[in-house]
């Protein structure tokens, strides 16, 4: 909440995003996906990156440099600012989707995300924000959550819920029919080597 906002205000978010994309593609090119059970990695994109007219081609060049297949990346977009060129973002998304990449809309239910944008653009995964998911214990909040999940499934979208920290949360949301769960209940952020070991251990226990 603090770091990204500060980076955007100081004009560093595009450079940081470029470093991140190169690091992720380098990692993807160095691992045995099947051996560690990793299908793909999700990468957050800032609005500042997406509004760059040449961003799609820049990303495809990075992937080509590292020999990364488009099926190995899913791009998360969060609309952190209302002042952006929607036309440029749409063009970049469609170019990347045409190259085989998939997209998630991050923090759905907050900020500037809206239904028409969700329907009109090639988002395959809808990531429901923790603040919306936390409402499952409240009768009205539960209605909103259940109806949101149902609506997205009818639109042929995969649904992920963020911020899960307990068994109770996970069990309740799984009953609602979500596809993916993200949160500290499963794992916290970790260094690359620990991440690989974690995946291997999980697969051996599966």
- Residue 174 in this model has a pLDDT that exceeds 60: yes
* Phi-psi group of 11: left, alpha or beta (phi > 0 → left; psi -120 to 50 → alpha; rest → beta): left
pTM of the complete model: 0.84
- Residue 82 in this model has a pLDDT that exceeds 60: no
Query: In Å, what is the CA distance from 11 to each residue of 75, 81, 89, 127?
Result: 21, 14, 18, 27
**pLDDT value for 11:** 84
**pLDDT value for 81:** 47
- Residue 55 in this model has a pLDDT that exceeds 80: yes
**pLDDT digit string, tens, across residues 95-125:** 999 999 999 988 787 765 567 777 778 889 9
Nearest to 178 by CA among 140, 146, 202, 206: 146
**pLDDT value for 199:** 92
């Amino acid at each position: 909440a603090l770091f990204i906002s500060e980076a955007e205000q100081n004009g560093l978010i595009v450079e940081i995003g470029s470093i991140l994309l190169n690091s992720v593609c380098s990692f993807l090119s160095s691992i045995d996906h099947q051996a560690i059970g990793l299908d793909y990695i999700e990468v957050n994109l800032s609005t500042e990156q997406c509004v760059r007219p040449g961003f799609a081609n820049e990303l495809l060049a990075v992937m080509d440099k590292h020999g990364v297949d488009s099926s190995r990346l899913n791009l998360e977009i969060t609309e952190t600012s209302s002042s952006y060129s929607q036309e440029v973002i749409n063009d970049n998304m469609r170019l990347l989707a045409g190259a085989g990449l998939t997209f998630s809309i991050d923090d759905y239910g907050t900020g500037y995300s809206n239904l028409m944008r969700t329907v009109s653009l090639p988002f395959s995964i809808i990531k429901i924000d923790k603040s919306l998911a936390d409402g499952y214990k409240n009768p009205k909040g539960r209605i909103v959550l259940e109806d949101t999940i149902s609506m997205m499934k009818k639109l042929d979208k995969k649904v992920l819920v963020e911020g899960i920290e307990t068994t109770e949360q996970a069990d309740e949301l799984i009953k609602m029919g979500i596809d993916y769960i993200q949160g500290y209940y499963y794992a916290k952020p970790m260094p690359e080597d620990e991440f690989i070991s974690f995946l291997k251990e999980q697969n051996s226990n599966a």
